[in-house]
Amino acid sequence: MKKLFIFLMFTIVFLGNSQVSQQWVARYNPSTGGAESVRDMAIDQSGNVYVTGSSNVPVTFIDILTVKYNSTGTELWSARHTGIGGGNNDYGVNVAVDGSGNVFVLGTSFGGPSLGLDMLVLKYSAAGTLLWEYRFTGPDGLDDEAYKLILDASSNVYVCGTSMGSVTQKDFAVFKLNSSGATQWSKRYSHTNSEEYPVDIKITQSGDVYVTGYAFVSGNASDFLTVKYNSSGTQQWVFPFNIGGEETGLSLALDASGNAYIGGYTNAYGTGNDCFVYSVSSAGSFRWMQRYTGPGNADDKVNCIYIDQSGNIFAAGNTTQGASGNDVFAACYNSNGTQLWLNTLNVGGNEIIYSVAGDLSSNIYLAGKTNAYGNSDDYLTISYNSSGSFRWMTSYNYSGTQNDAAIKVLPDNSGNVYVTGTSFDDYATIMYTPLTGLGQPGSLIPDEYNLSQNYPNPFNPETNICFSLPVSGIVRLAVYDISGKEISVPVNDYLTAGVYNYRFNASGLSSGVYFYRFSTGNYTETKKMMLLK
């Protein structure tokens, strides 16, 4: 019997700016124990959520594990896939869903003793039934590793990964399947008879395919590398890009004209790794580049890139600003390469952003991790508006000093935000819902810290908890039972100065005395409340 936990949390109202409420958390860990690791997430138009990754099982080692939740966080089904012969390691790396609710999972899977690793595509029905599987094995029967999968409007499947050749070593490998799993075409590209790593793939509405990554040209020196194919799989052009150091492409976006935008990093300027974004035209010509190096001259990287409906490009990752370690990096450029805004954010520890996405209003969402709230990593989710103004930030920690890291964020068309990742070796997926700011009377900032008595008190089942924050900072609001056991932490976030009201729903608790504690900086205050049912 698998373990599935759904946590319904507090409703949060932020007086003055945008804020979100953590609506539910769905955790998945099978009864067999072991460790799970999330790699990707997709959502559909009905609010169903699909998560894939890997699960460590004692008998079969590591399997591909895919889970589907409905819009309330209830598990609808889970599917586990073991490689040929079992007893080996298989990893889910990507998931996509088509308009009919069919689910496509990409993974790397053991193909048998004489074949090594294969790229594996699995297609499930909306109900979780496996419809077909497709294995890609390179011509020399050596290791092939999957990186990315994408669907077109006809549910054709496009995949990129590495394929080991006996002479050319690791090559770009790209293939197309139709919706029934039949091969339409398959291509490979070797740049230098060394090692090439395709990390991202995108398609245009006309079916052109772009693949980006990096190629090792000598020793540890690597170049940016992008390849374009037409809808029939014919190579159109190759664009290697060397600035003079080690260059690594990590993410790709396309605009409506077929211009490509690549994010990554380079160490060509003698300032450590620098954030780097560049653009290539649909014809394969260089358009522009942008670089950012933090004052720490150490580790600055663009890990993910996103383009909105207006053609603005949003890049996100991490930057070293100095003694604070890694900080959040986020920047926006127009289609001509002009920087519209650039933000760095120090939450208070080491921060890394792994995912960026946007909604229909061009609000931007970042997800990653931070250790600002203790000795372990926590989920970190941040939102900016299209002008780069800070909207909100929230974190998630499951259990004290255990690590939690968010790897994917996706908004839906209703303003809800979904975040997934690995939490204490479990799958953990969160849905946040937006709340409308109510406004502060006279727009006054409070003069001092204050925690008010909850009202009503006694209460059943809801009450309001209000506090004043004169200075922006990290705020923690925790609830304890009569024995002093911490039962929930509804707030563990960076908040701007203002007055906040939190509506606490205790429908899942028994009658009794509870305590709530407000902590920020050197200020702490605790009050008592009574639940009567």
DSSP-assigned states of every residue in 116-172: -EEEEEEEE-TTS-EEEEEEE--TT---EEEEEEEE-TT--EEEEEEEEETTTEEEE
Interatomic CA distance for residues 338 and 357, integer angstroms: 20
**Mean pLDDT, residues 238-262 taken together:** 96
> Does residue 480 contact residue 502 with C-beta atoms inside 8 Å?
no
Interatomic CA distance for residues 232 and 239, integer angstroms: 19
Interatomic CA distance for residues 174 and 146, integer angstroms: 10
pLDDT of residue 13: 37
Select from 3.40.190.10, 3.10.20.30, 2.60.40.1930, 1.10.760.10 the CATH code of 441-531. 2.60.40.1930
pLDDT of residue 306: 98
CA atoms within 13 A on the CB side of 179: 13
Interatomic CA distance for residues 364 and 409, integer angstroms: 10
The structure tokens listed for 85 are 């012969």
For residue 451, the one-letter residue type is: L
- Give the start-to-end residue ranges of the domains of the chain: 32-132, 441-531
Whether omega before 441 lies within 30 degrees of 0, making that bond cis, reads: no
Highest mean pLDDT (candidates 87-96, 111-120, 329-338): 329-338
pLDDT of residue 165: 80
Q: What is the mean pLDDT of the chain?
A: 89
- H or E stretch at 77: strand 75-81
pLDDT at 96 over 50: yes
pLDDT of residue 393: 87
Least confident of 93-97, 102-106, 236-240, 267-271: 267-271
Q: Band of the pLDDT at 325, cuts 50, 70, 90?
A: confident
Scan for tokens 């933090």, then name that residue: 294
**Mean pLDDT, residues 172-185 taken together:** 98
pLDDT 10s digits, 428-446 = 999 998 753 333 333 467 8
pTM of the model as a whole: 0.82
pLDDT of residue 472: 87
pLDDT 10s digits, 12-56 = 333 334 567 788 999 998 766 778 999 999 999 999 999 999 998
**Mean pLDDT, residues 238-251 taken together:** 94
pLDDT of residue 497: 84
pLDDT at 77 over 80: yes
Interatomic CA distance for residues 77 and 127, integer angstroms: 7
